[in-house]
């Protein structure tokens, strides 16, 4: 897919948008299309929906970006980029499914854009505010990237691994990023939300879910997923699918009523 003259890596599973609703996957801060692994295929098979994923600029096989990323990068993705991606992909009715940074982007989009195509959002390990635990884990992964084997492992998935890692890591470790807080956007969401978090998530406590519950004015269901850390869709697949599949079915029925 081309967007503003730049290439976005994309992939579809299941039916196209002309014949079914689309589950739009928004990856984490170090993710890309390939790192969803077989989760999209499982979603398409279990829901009957089409599943669409793309690698944001700077990730996967998409074109690179200039660094440093602005402190507003998640808002920029949610408000400026995502609507045009959905337009270009021809998405007509959507449930956003975001993981980590992608969950935050989904929440910002739902609250700030009020996109009529969107009928629900699944937020997995999303960040609604910054915690000390969060920053400590991001600082630790920087050491692993610089001194361990993480760079070599990520290099298999990203065209420019340093752009992918530094763009995310440097932004989060910038002292200015401590003011990141999207509870105002959450309060403007008008579609149902399912929020999932691993019970042992090193990047956020269950206070993220509590803040969401307090801030939201829409229907919210939250679940801690036992046996999962930061990626419940990979680490506890069955429990995650048991939460997502009925949620998707219900919001599509409600939207059609």
Using a pLDDT cut of 70, give the percent of the chain over it: 100
Give the range of the structural domain holding residue 236, as residue numbers without chain letter.
2-256
Q: 62: domain CATH number?
A: 3.40.50.1820
Residue 184 in this model has a pLDDT that exceeds 80: yes
Q: What is the pTM of this model?
A: 0.98
Arithmetic mean of pLDDT, 185-213: 97
What does the alpha-carbon distance between residue 127 and residue 201 come to, in Å, rounded to a whole number?
A: 12
The domain tally of the chain equals 1
Using one digit for the tens of pLDDT, what is the confidence trace for 21-58? 999 999 999 999 999 999 999 999 999 999 999 999 99
Residue 152 CB burial class (10 angstroms; 0-12, 13-18, ≥19) = exposed
Using one digit for the tens of pLDDT, what is the confidence trace for 195-204? 999 999 999 9
3-class DSSP state of 52 = strand
Which pLDDT value is given to residue 257? 76
In this structure, what DSSP letter does residue 235 have? H
Beta strand ranges found along the chain (DSSP E): 2-3, 6-7, 10-13, 22-26, 50-54, 94-99, 118-124, 193-198, 220-225
Phi, then psi, of 181 in degrees rounded to 5: -160, 120
């Amino acid at each position: 897919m081309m967007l503003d003259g730049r290439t976005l890596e994309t992939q579809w599973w299941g039916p196209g948008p002309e014949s079914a609703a689309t589950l739009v996957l928004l990856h984490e801060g170090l993710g890309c299309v390939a790192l969803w692994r077989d989760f999209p295929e499982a979603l398409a098979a279990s829901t009957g929906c089409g599943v669409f994923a793309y690698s944001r600029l700077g990730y996967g096989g998409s074109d690179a970006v200039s660094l440093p990323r602005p402190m507003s990068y998640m808002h920029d993705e949610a408000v400026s980029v995502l609507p045009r991606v959905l337009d270009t992909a021809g998405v007509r009715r959507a449930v956003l499914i975001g993981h980590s940074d992608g969950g935050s982007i989904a929440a910002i989009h739902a609250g700030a854009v009020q996109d009529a195509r969107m009928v629900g959002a699944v937020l997995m390990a999303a960040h609604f505010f910054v915690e000390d635990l969060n920053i400590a884990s991001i600082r630790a992964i920087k050491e692993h990237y610089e001194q361990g084997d993480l760079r070599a492992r990520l290099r298999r998935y990203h065209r420019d691994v340093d752009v992918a890692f530094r763009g995310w890591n440097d932004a989060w470790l910038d002292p200015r990023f401590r003011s990141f807080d999207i509870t105002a956007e959450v309060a403007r969401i008008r579609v149902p939300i399912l929020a999932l978090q691993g019970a042992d998530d090193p990047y956020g406590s269950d206070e993220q879910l509590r803040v969401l519950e307090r801030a939201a004015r829409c229907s919210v269901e939250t679940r801690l997923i036992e046996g999962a850390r930061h990626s419940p869709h990979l680490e506890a697949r069955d429990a995650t699918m048991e939460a997502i599949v009925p949620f998707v079915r219900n919001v599509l029925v409600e939207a059609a009523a």
